[in-house]
Amino acid sequence: MKQQVIISEKLEQSLEQAIASCVHDKLFILTDEMTHHLCLPLIQDYSCMSGCCEISIGATDEHKNLETLAAVWTALGTAGATRHSLLINLGGGMVTDLGGFAASTFKRGIAYINVPTTLLAMVDASVGGKTGINFNGLKNEIGVFNPAQSVLLDTEFLKSLDDRNLRSGYAEMLKHGLISTVENWAELLRFDLSAVDYEQLQRMVATSVAIKEHVVEQDPFEQGIRKALNLGHTVGHAFESLALEENRTVLHGYAVAWGLVCELYLSCVKVGFPRDRMRQTVQFIRENYGAFVFDCKKYERLYELMTHDKKNTAGTVNFTLLADVGDIRINQTASKEEIFQMLDFYRETMGC
């Protein structure tokens, strides 16, 4: 099923149409502690939200777990949800991932709509049909492919978003630029994240989502070219998992940005990505994201975490690399020695 992605100019009208397109008996909305206070007030008085039952969960990725998922199932059941009910996920990637998985599995699946409120969720988590939770210390270990009926994108929500979460989402846009065209990539490097132009950002979000949609349409279940969207993620997820173990949680987009530094280095070494473009991208990341600091004693653990990545086959670490901007090379491998050299490059370049 192809999901409908709506770049919304008038959220009330867009939400009304999205809800009306899903025949349902009861309407539910999932929020977290942040979106309950900052975002729900923007839509709760819409006539289309009349009689809606709210389910609220803890904010941040540490709540994206089996316990929270069970709490959402329980709340749906207690409030009388049936397989004909409809769930709206109002929040960032954690809410859209977990809410999408809860909807996909409750009574073998109910319809859901994503209303992403963070830049990361708009350009990544809410689009493409991936749902899931973290499990056993690993990111998104349990989940299903099941697209939302509709995804409503309105950058009005971004005005209440803090700087760090805005930058987190922007890292996924940078990844989309790298896998598309030199023009998109160059525009992303020129954008001033310290003085955000929201009109320009809305246009760039639309472009970014279109890039992801185009890839997902070609390969909805990640058998081939959809792996392009994993650029930066093999190393990025390892950084996230290590940070979680060490109780210094990092935002997903920051981890992806640092992962891009590593995987662009591998792209240079293994498939000839232009060094000047790598340097420009790495400089942008260093200036806008700082660095994830670790020493060489962590190399073994990071390598071990990379071997758990879902894209791997038979324990061989699998990367998506680039021969140039838009020239995607999926299913690339690297030896342990090459991965350690990549981590050396990261620490030297990022000043760790």
Q: Is 130 a catalytic residue?
A: yes
Q: Is 287 a catalytic residue?
A: no
Of 36, 63, 139, 237, the catalytic one is 237
Question: What are the structure tokens assigned to 276, written together?
Answer: 């000047």
Of 134, 167, 222, 227, the catalytic one is 222
Of 233, 277, 329, 347, the catalytic one is 233
User: Which residues neighbour 198 within 8 Å (Cβ) at sequence distance 6 or greater?
Assistant: 155, 158, 159
3-state secondary structure the chain: CCCEEEECCCHHHHHHHHHHCCCCCCEEEEEEHHHHHHCHHHHCCCHHHCCCEEEEECCCHHHCCHHHHHHHHHHHHHCCCCCCCEEEEEECHHHHHHHHHHHHHHHHCCEEEEEECCHHHHHHHCCCCECCEEECCEEEEECCECCCCEEEECHHHHHHCCHHHHHHHHHHHHHHHHCCCHHHHHHHHHCCCCCCCHHHHHHHHHHHHHHHHHHHHHCCCCCCHHHHHHCCHHHHHHHHHHHHHCCCCCCHHHHHHHHHHHHHHHHHHHHCCCHHHHHHHHHHHHHHHCCCCCCHHHHHHHHHHHHCCCCCECCECEEEEEEECCEEEEEEECCHHHHHHHHHHHHHHHCC
Of 226, 227, 277, 329, the catalytic one is 226
Q: Is 230 a catalytic residue?
A: yes
Q: Is 310 a catalytic residue?
A: no
Q: Is 233 a catalytic residue?
A: yes
127 φ, ψ to 5°? -110, 135
Of 63, 64, 167, 212, the catalytic one is 212
Of 36, 64, 130, 175, the catalytic one is 130
Q: Is 248 a catalytic residue?
A: no
Of 10, 108, 190, 297, the catalytic one is 108
Of 36, 167, 252, 277, the catalytic one is 252
Q: Is 24 a catalytic residue?
A: no
Farthest-apart Cα atoms in the chain, separation = 60
Angle between helices 252-271 and 233-245 (to 10 degrees): 140
Distance between CA atoms of residues 40 and 49, nearest Å? 11
**Which residues are part of the catalytic machinery?**
108, 130, 172, 212, 222, 226, 230, 233, 237, 252
